[in-house]
Every structure is written in C-alpha cells, then in structure tokens.
Structure 1
Amino acid sequence: MGFHCSTPVAPLGDLIEKIWDWDMPVAAHRFERVLPQPGAVLIINLHEDETRVYADDVTRECTRSSACVLGGPSSRSQIIDTSEQVRVMGVVFRQGGVHAFTGEDVSTLAERDTNLHDLFGASADGLRQRLLDTPAPAQRLALLEAWLHRRARMTPVHAAVHHAVSMLDRVPQLASIPLIARATGLSERRLLQLFRRQVGMTPKHYARLMRFRAVVRHAHAHATVDWSAVAADCGFSDQAHLNHEFRRFAGLSPSAFTARRGPHPNHLPLD
C-alpha cells in the first residue's frame, strides 16, 4: 500500500508531468473538494467499476462515469467520493499535453469527464484489466507508461501556444494577451483560437486560473495568511477582487479554504 509516482522520459515526458499509483485505506471523511487545474488528468479506478463526481450544491447530485476517464482542463472545483479513492491510478498532463496525446480539440474535453473507451476503444478496457492483474505498483506504473507511449499521437503543439503558456505561467498577474500575441507573430484572434483548441480555454481565462493557483500555493504553505498582502502580490486590485476570484474557482471563500486545508493542496476534506 502507499503512494507511488513516476515521471516519464521524453518524448512522453514533454506531454505528461507525472504518473501516480494510490493504494490506501478509505479516508475518514466521505467527500473531498478537488480544486481546478489547467492540465487534463487521466483517472483509472482499480477499486470500483465507475467514477463519481457530485454537484457542488446542497443536492450533491451524482454523475457516474466509467472506471477509466479523462478529466479535461477545469476552471471549477469538483466534489468526489472518497469511498472509491482506495486503489486508483492517474496521469497528470502538462498544459497542451492532452492535445498532443489525443489529437483532440481540448475545448471539447474541458469541464467534463470523458470515458477513455470513447477515445481509445477496447484498448482502454484491456489496459484496466491488465492493471488489475498486476500486483506491484512499480509494475503497474511501467505498464501504464508503456500503454501511453504506444497510444500517444504526438500531435504538435504550436510554438506560439508553448510561448504563451510559458509567459502566463511565469507572471499570470502581469501578462498582456495582446503583447504575447505580438511576440508570437500571430494576431490575437489566431492565438486565441489555437490556445482554446490546444489548452482548452482562452489565454485570459488561463491567466486567471494560474493566478488562483498561485494564491492556493501561498495559502497552503503558510499557517497564517495575510490575504491583503497576497492580493497585492498576486496582482488583484484588492482583497475583495481576490475573494471573488477565489470563490469563482474554488467554490468557497479563502477563509473556508484555510479552515479545511489538509496535507494535499488540491484536495479539501468535506463531510
């Protein structure tokens, strides 16, 4: 049991940040809030034959998908069921990586889970069965990485998109989309089209999301948080602006985040 992680080598490593294997007891809390992130995530449930996400409201309406799903880039939090998070494997794609891997228009995959069978057919079903039949985590990681190598379509990501992502990652609070477009030699409209197709959202929305992620990293790393200072450092006009954006992406206030945070910055225990 435990958590194991690997980083594939190039060229697959240019698309994928990490591959992980989670084999742990059921958590004490029933639900977790998963914060949004710009990269897609492949999830393979080895404990149950489905994955579940819940509406972020009082109804907690459940949406069920297959045991193997590709979660597209997201700009809002999800509620997941910890009872199924016992034996799970995952693949975290870099920005633009899922476009290079699948060849798909990523904007059509965003904000939802897509059954892996719909993208890769019976190969996805066979992958899960082989993982179920493999007892050792290191062997499962190697098996999954080999499958990813065979299935990667290696669709090129446009150099202008690479440049824009790099600039927005470094200084999302200062980035000017017109200036970035000018630096790439493309029109702003053309850059927006390419960025949406290959990253899954507009450059402006991506910058807002990365600014939110910077706030999460800062807040998770400090026992006490000066939200006014964080707002200024991260480029918000004031603390009220930060609060509004934080609620928009996380589904809860900054103070509620600090009250609920646990060991993992992207997962918040609920009831």
Structure 2
Amino acid sequence: MTPHPQEPVQTVIRRPTGALSLFVDTLWFVQSDRLSLRGTNLPMLHGELMFNFSEFFSIQPLGAQPANTGHGSWFSGLQTAPSQSQTAGRHETLGVLLKPWGLFPLTNVPAHAFGQLFVSGEAVLGPVIAPLTDALQQARSATGKLDILERFLSDRYVDSDIPAYVHYAHSFLHRHPFRNGIVTELCRHLRISRKSLTGAFRKYLGLSPGQYVRLLRFRAATDAMAARPDLSLTDLTYQQGFFDQAHFIHLFRAFAGMTPGAYRSFIRAHQQASVGLPETSSPSFIHHTG
C-alpha cells in the first residue's frame, strides 16, 4: 500500500486521576481528515476498549481476515502475539488503555475469556454500549468525547476492586529481575498456592503468572532496544537475564513474529517515528511501508 499524503493528526491524551487511575492508564483521541497507515502492533501490558468512527479501520490477529472495519467498539485483553491494523481515509478513533487488571472490573467477564480476540463492545456490555457510542460520535470536541468516556468508566468502576495480592504480585514481578523460580518465590511471599495465584491471574489479567512474566520480559527487551539500538544482541541477551541468545530469540519471535535483529533494524531505521496515534511510536508499532 502506497501511503497518500497525510493531513495533520490531532491527538489528545488524558491520564485519569483519583479512583479511576487504579484501573485506567490512558484515555486517548485521534482524528485526521486523511490518514493512510498499516502496520503490526506488538503486545502491550494493557487491555483496551476502542471506538472507531473512521472511514476505514481494521484490526485483527496477525494473519487473520480483517475485522472491525465498520463503526463501533471492541475490547481486547493482554495479547501474547502481534496483531495487524490498517486505516485509510478520514480517521477518528478514541479509547482507553487499561491497567493489566482493568478488564474484569469493567466488564464482569473473566479476562481469560477474551483470549487473543477483539470482541465487540455490544457482545461484552450489551445495550449500554449503543447510547455511549452515539454520544461519543455526536460530541463536537475531543475534550467532550473524553469527558463522556471518562464519566462512563467512572460509573462502571464504582465500588470495583481487585484482590490486594494481585496488585502485590504485579509490583513484585515488575520490581524483581527475572530468575528461575520467581513465580514460586512470589507464591511463598503471598502465602498462597500456585493454583490460587494462577486462577487470580487468569481472571484479572487473562494470562497465567508464567505467561505474564514472559510478556514482561518481552516488553523490557523491546524498551531496551528502543532506548539503545546500538547495544549488541549478545549484551542485550545477558542484560535482560536470558540464559543464551537462542532462548531470547525464541521468546521474542513468539511475541513479535520476528527476530530481535529484525526488530532492531526497524528501530534503527525509524527510531521514535510516530504518526501521532497512541502506541504507534516505537517500541510498540511496526509501520509497514510500500
């Protein structure tokens, strides 16, 4: 696909405060009179609720048939494989990046039920999604749209909570470098069984503790490569705590669908390139050209 000349892209990012910040990382809005873009989205540490009012927008798991091409909304949980997206013509999207545990308190659907799918908002929330979608489309300003979305989220999250040990586990795995047996060590700290921890992770995060650790390691590696594209893969392998390059390449390819070397080449050629859409700047988005 040969990109057409782009019109200016309006991007508005909002960080919630107060109780909503316990579940929501970022609210965002993007609009352009003409935007032509396609690429690969790498797995993130966020679930997402997205609304689309574009002329054409599609997003789907890598290699699947295009989905979500019309106006509407959809949810996605934590992903462990890349997805593809494409937009053409007039573009208007908005949405919310959720904390890793934000999906279940919002939808009352266990996070593991979403799998690797992009599930329509109507299928998840039922009739409440239609008036919300209409109100968002009719609001005249980006600020007005985000105000409506923020009020909806605040109402949905009222009195919501997650077990304290899920917060602790998330923090523990972020703070401690990876080592063999780290999940077992976490269970000892929490004084719960691995089975109990796995059940909580699947319900609130959609992944097992082991899968979540692998996702954390992948994100740490992409962040490190984006920050230091000159770092050799050998140095990066051991800096990130991998036993050898074969293990590193295997994990990276599983999440990104490409080798670390191919990803680093992209970073070097397009370092910090962005079209203004959330998460489309490195290290989360591979822009396809031509």
Same fold (TM over 0.5): yes
- Which of 101, 120, 127 aligns to 2:125? It is 120
1:61 matched to 2:68? The reply is: no
Change (3 A) 1:145 1:111: same
| Structure 1 CA distance for aligned equivalents of residues 229 and 33 of structure 2 | 27
1:144 aligns with 2:128: no
Deviation at 1:61, TM superposition (A): 2.7
2: distance between equivalents of 1:243 and 1:27?
A: 34
Matches within 5 A, 1:120-269: 120-152=125-157, 154-171=159-176, 173-174=178-179, 176-261=182-267, 262=270, 263=273, 264-265=281-282, 266-269=284-287
**1:4 corresponds to which residue?**
12
What TM-score comes out, normalization by structure 2 length? Answer: 0.85
Which whole-Å deviations, capped at 9, do the CAs of 1:61-107 have from their partners, x for residues lacking one? 32347620011111001011132782110201111111222222111
Q: Out of 93, 96, 111, which is 2:98 matched to?
A: 93
Distance 1:270 1:238 in 2: 30
| Displacement of 1:243 | 1.2
Q: How many residues were matched structurally?
A: 267
Letter in 2 for 1:123: V
Partner of residue 48, structure 2: 41
CA distance in 2 between counterparts of 1:239 and 1:198 reads 32
Gap regions ≥5 residues in structure 2? 1-8, 274-280
3-state secondary structure, aligned to 2:27: strand
> Which residue of structure 1 aligns with residue 30 of structure 2?
22
Seq. identity, %? 22
How big is each residue's C-alpha offset from its partner over 1:137-182, in whole Å with a ceiling of 9 and x where there is no partner?
1111111101111222644211221111111122352361111011
From the superposition, tell whether residues 28 and 51 of structure 1 become closer, same or farther in structure 2 (CA, over 3 Å).
Answer: closer
Aligned with 2:88: secondary structure? helix
Distance in structure 1 (CA, Å) of the matches to 2:165 and 2:81: 26
Q: Write out per-residue CA displacement over residues 208-267 of structure 1, whole angstroms, 9 at most, x where no aligned residue.
A: 110000011111123423111111111111122111111100011112212334420211
TM-score (norm 1): 0.91
Q: Taking structure 1 as reference, are residues 221 and 270 closer, same or farther at Cα in structure 2, changes over 3 Å only?
A: same
In structure 1, distance between residues paired with 2:73 and 2:126: 11
